[in-house]
């Protein structure tokens, strides 16, 4: 079955850039009509969709995070990455990578069918 695994950066200092990698197993991120997203769950708030990269390399971002977000991919490693710049303690969350449902252009967490286990990222000095 398809599996997604996030890297574990752990602690990030304020104003730095948060970098995460998602490794996908048993499926190609270049397969037609699939979108691959980053989602986060902030304590005491609901899950928040961050952005996606799709099978052809096209990206899309949440308007609220777009100015600080970059998502890229390495098809040779079957990985996609997240960079979130100028982080503050409000970016502390569990970060997930996830696969969008086939032929669905995701913009909310419920648009995804397979998720990684999540990784805790804490922003603190």
- Is 93 in contact with 40 (CB distance < 8 Å)? yes
**Angstrom distance (rounded) from CA 110 to CA 94:** 17
What's the pLDDT at 12?
95
Sign of the C-alpha dihedral computed for residues 52, 72, 6 and 113 taken in this order: positive
User: pLDDT tens across 65-103, in order?
Assistant: 999 999 999 999 999 999 999 999 999 999 999 999 988
User: pLDDT tens across 32-75, in order?
Assistant: 899 999 999 998 898 999 999 999 999 999 999 999 999 999 99
What's the pLDDT at 31?
86
Q: Which helix (H) or strand (E) holds 37?
A: strand 35-41
What's the pLDDT at 68?
97
């Amino acid at each position: 079955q398809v599996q997604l695994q996030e890297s574990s950066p752990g602690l990030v200092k304020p104003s730095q850039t948060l970098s995460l990698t998602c490794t996908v197993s048993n499926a190609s991120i270049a397969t037609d009509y699939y979108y691959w997203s980053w989602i986060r769950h902030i304590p005491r708030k609901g899950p928040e969709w961050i952005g996606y990269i799709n099978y052809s390399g096209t990206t899309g971002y949440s308007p609220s995070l777009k100015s600080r977000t970059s998502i890229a991919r390495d098809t040779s490693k079957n990985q996609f990455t997240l960079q979130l710049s100028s982080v503050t303690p409000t970016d502390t969350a569990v970060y997930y990578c996830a696969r969008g449902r086939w032929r669905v252009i995701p913009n909310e967490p419920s648009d995804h069918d397979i998720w990684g286990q999540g990784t805790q990222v804490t922003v603190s000095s």
